[in-house]
Amino acid sequence: MLKLKNVSKFYYSNGVITSGFSRVNLELDMGEFVVITGESGSGKSTLLNVLSGLDTYEEGEMYINGQETSHYSEADFEEYRRKYVGNIFQNFNLVNSYTVYQNVELALMLNGEKSSAVKDKVKSIINRVGLAEYMNTKCSKLSGGQKQRVAIARALAKDTPIIVADEPTGNLDSSSAAEVIKLLHEISEEKLVIIVTHNIEQVERYATRLIKMHDGKILEDKKVNLPQTKAGYETADYKDITAKDRIRLGIRNAFNIPAKFILIFAVFLFVSMAVAGTYSGFQKMEYDDSRYGYNQFFSDTSDKRIVINKEDKTPITDEEFTEIESLENVGKVIRDDTLIDYSMSLSDSEYWYYFYGNFTDIKYFDGELTAGSMPEEPYDIILEGSADDYYLSQDPASVIGTLLYLDEYDENGERKESKPFKVTGVFLNDEMRNGDNNRFYAGEEILEHLRQEAAVSNNNLKFMFEGQYYDVSSGEGGFSIVPDSDVPKGQAYAGGSLGEMSQSGTSKGKEIVINAESIYSEGEMKVTVTAVYNKGNLEELTGVKYTEDKEGAIYVNEEEFNDLVNKGIFQSSVYVSDTEELDNVLESLKEMGFETLAMRDALTSDGQDLIQIIALMKTFMLTVLIVALFFISYFIIKVVLKSRNAYYTTLRTLGASRRVSKQLLDIELFVTATLSFVVFTALIIMINAGILNLSALTEMADYLSAGDYVLIYMIIIAMSYLISHRFARKLFKDSVMNTYREEV
């Protein structure tokens, strides 16, 4: 059965070589009850470990069933242990956190028997070793003698032809010891039992062979009784533990040591929170920055805003507006949005105050006035500014009543005449940042006037006179087109500058073709110069006072001009009520035939650069964080798992392969990690639902999307897998005995 030929075993530790035993020759057969004795340190344990494949040997030849083993791989020895050897140790090597039943069941499960099918078998084996009443007692609560009987029961369950017992009675009182030996003898029929003991009297009756060791050598080897039988043997038909039982066992292991479970659970929970916290912090930065980024063409970059125009570039109709307004999640629709992005500066006549911002319809004002009152007259306005604005916040009331003028100048640097706006109310808004544009809330009269002005500035104006084009918008020739209600339709009043361009010296009676072109529309109007004005008659013709710089002005009919530059509403702004629904609104608008531009996606300038930097930083920091967290958790979990060393080594002595053991560890950590993730998610859900109020987590909850949770889960699962992998590698890099030794 087993044969050693000149086998030697050396230990290497700290550069010192010690001999475990040397040049041992031995042949053991089925049916023998072999007793090995010898003083401490004589090599008995070493010999048993080599015989049972738990430890390696360095010299000589070992035969198992006539097969030489020097070429055996780790997996071959694993198979040998699994099929042939049941071990019983002086210090039991039971799973203390398991019950008696579970310990015995474990041996059967690891040999591929279904846990659901072995109940009776386990019970009968436990009965056989006399522990029926302790079936569901945890092994940690048993006495030494009872523990050793559990170990025997386990070896029985494994049902191997060889049983190796190293000082099984060493830790037992004499009566327990006698029972254990008797039990071992009982089960030794048709087996090879090898037992190390100091107490020869106890075993003398049963022993078929006595081997005495001294100083690593066999001193004496004598047959004392005849072997019980010399019959053949059968090894159990070995199968791997079933998938279902792997999961069962993994889950059992996750929970069966509460302190360990809580610690690992806490580590994973901490990791989830740390990753989520950092991640959401970046999300918030990115979000804030995208909100405050700016766009060259749009001054209102609210993330709720969508700018729309028709795909076919035609004006938007009233029916379409009604339809848009009735869409879900649409807050307000600003039909004519020209003013939204038409920023202008206002200042008082003394230049004491200076404001830069945009006009908005007073009907959208929903703040609470910090000072003053709501407008009453057509040219009254409300001024909105940041609460952080140093000058405004000093004394908001002092602004009330101030007259503000458009900050526009002519070529001579003189402020252009305009009707002033009167500030009747001031609103300091906490949500605005210092440096943001101001907002001027005004009534329809002001807005209409400004829209016209904006429409002109949004058009590229030029005119043709005597076959020659003059670009008005770029100031060519100092010409300007000025709408005036005093000019009849189809006519124009021109100054001296135009006459100078004419071959005949005068523009009177000649035709001017004015052309206006915007990104949405193009149009023409033909007018005939019916009057040439000069210093003397301008005021009479138009009501406008003459100044020298007005020589280039061409006065045309106001209504006609408006029709030219204002060909309907081509572009509008839709504001969603909830930014999270923005994509849905975009979808609906597109279905209606609109081209859309979400401000959120239009921030191509500084903001975007910053977002890219933040995104890069996010990736980098998260990577660093995860690596750091990995090592921190690894070291914590490693310390915690140290207590699992014994468990996994026990599994190996029971025949679990490296793969199976690692899978069990994987499942154990997976279950714990998943549970901590579930608790983490539950916490967030409760916070979102308002059941729980943890201010530290509330912010975090706001900035995480479903995808982020999946990501966090994947991160901790990957971590648990890596930890398991590293730990298993350490656990299995050595022989079983060395791993045990490290443990003790």
Residue 607 binding: pick among Mg ion, ligand ADP, none (C-beta 5-8 Å cut-off by kind): none
- Token duo for residue 466: 């005597």
Tell me the residue type at 424. T
CB of 227 to ligand ADP, least distance (A): 25
Segment contacting Mg ion (CB under 5 A): 37-45, 178-186, 375-383, 619-627? Answer: 37-45
CB of 623 to ligand ADP, least distance (A): 42
Residue nearest to Mg ion (CB): 45
Beta-carbon contacts of 514 under 8 Å, excluding residues fewer than 6 positions away, are: 461, 462, 463, 481, 524, 525, 526, 527, 556, 564
CB of 39 to ligand ADP, least distance (A): 7
Residue closer to ligand ADP by CB (options 40, 73) is 40
Q: How far is CA 228 from the centre of its chain?
A: 67
CB of 45 to Mg ion, least distance (A): 3
Residue closer to Mg ion by CB (options 45, 672) is 45
CB 277 within 8 A of CB 560: no
- Number of neighbouring beta carbons within 10 Å of residue 307: 22
CB of 168 to ligand ADP, least distance (A): 13
> Beta partners for 482?
555
Residue 542 binding: pick among ligand ADP, Mg ion, none (C-beta 5-8 Å cut-off by kind): none
DSSP 83-105: HHEEEE-TT----TTSBHHHHHH
CA torsion sign for 338, 340, 344, 346 is: positive
Q: How far is CA 198 from the centre of its chain?
A: 61
Give dist(CA 38, CA 197) in Å, integer.
Answer: 8
CB of 663 to Mg ion, least distance (A): 33
Residue 43 binding: pick among ligand ADP, Mg ion, none (C-beta 5-8 Å cut-off by kind): ligand ADP
CB of 27 to ligand ADP, least distance (A): 20
Residue closer to Mg ion by CB (options 45, 720) is 45
- Number of neighbouring beta carbons within 10 Å of residue 710: 10
Beta-carbon contacts of 492 under 8 Å, excluding residues fewer than 6 positions away, are: 512, 527, 528, 529, 530, 554, 555, 556
CB of 48 to Mg ion, least distance (A): 8
Residue 197 binding: pick among Mg ion, ligand ADP, none (C-beta 5-8 Å cut-off by kind): none
Question: How much of the chain is helix, strand and coil, in % rounded to 5?
Answer: 45, 25, 30
45 interacts with Mg ion by CB under 5 A? yes
CB 392 within 8 A of CB 386: yes
Q: Which residues are near ligand ADP by CB under 6 A?
A: 11, 13, 18, 20, 38, 40-46, 741
Residue closer to ligand ADP by CB (options 44, 154) is 44
Residue closer to ligand ADP by CB (options 588, 739) is 739
- Token duo for residue 627: 């690596």
Residue closer to Mg ion by CB (options 20, 357) is 20
Beta-carbon contacts of 459 under 8 Å, excluding residues fewer than 6 positions away, are: 473, 516, 517, 518, 565
Residue closer to Mg ion by CB (options 38, 396) is 38
Residue closer to Mg ion by CB (options 42, 176) is 42
Residue 46 binding: pick among Mg ion, ligand ADP, none (C-beta 5-8 Å cut-off by kind): ligand ADP
CA distances from 180 to 106, 148, 167, 302 (A): 21, 7, 11, 82
Residue closer to Mg ion by CB (options 39, 414) is 39
CB of 21 to ligand ADP, least distance (A): 7
Beta-carbon contacts of 729 under 8 Å, excluding residues fewer than 6 positions away, are: none
Cα-Cα-Cα-Cα torsion 246, 251, 257, 260, nearest 10 degrees, comes to 100
Q: How far is CA 79 from the centre of its chain?
A: 43
CB of 199 to ligand ADP, least distance (A): 15
CB of 8 to ligand ADP, least distance (A): 11
Residue 38 binding: pick among ligand ADP, Mg ion, none (C-beta 5-8 Å cut-off by kind): ligand ADP
Residue closer to ligand ADP by CB (options 38, 375) is 38
CA distances from 496 to 526, 533, 535, 536 (A): 20, 7, 10, 12
Looking at the chain, how many residues does it have? 744
Give dist(CA 584, CA 564) in Å, integer.
Answer: 36
DSSP 134-183: GTTSBGGGS-HHHHHHHHHHHHHHHT-SEEEEESTTTTS-HHHHHHHHHH
CB of 683 to ligand ADP, least distance (A): 48
CA distances from 142 to 138, 150, 151 (A): 7, 10, 12
Residue closer to ligand ADP by CB (options 41, 483) is 41
- Token duo for residue 495: 């100054």
CB of 716 to ligand ADP, least distance (A): 38
- Token duo for residue 595: 């081209």
Give dist(CA 333, CA 573) in Å, integer.
Answer: 6
**Residue 421: φ, ψ to 5°:** -100, 145
- Token duo for residue 8: 């030697």
CB of 112 to Mg ion, least distance (A): 32
Residue closer to ligand ADP by CB (options 638, 741) is 741
CB of 42 to Mg ion, least distance (A): 9
Degrees (nearest 5) of the Cα angle 198, 202, 206?
Answer: 115
Residue closer to ligand ADP by CB (options 10, 233) is 10
Where on the chain is the footprint of Mg ion (CB under 5 A)? Answer: 45
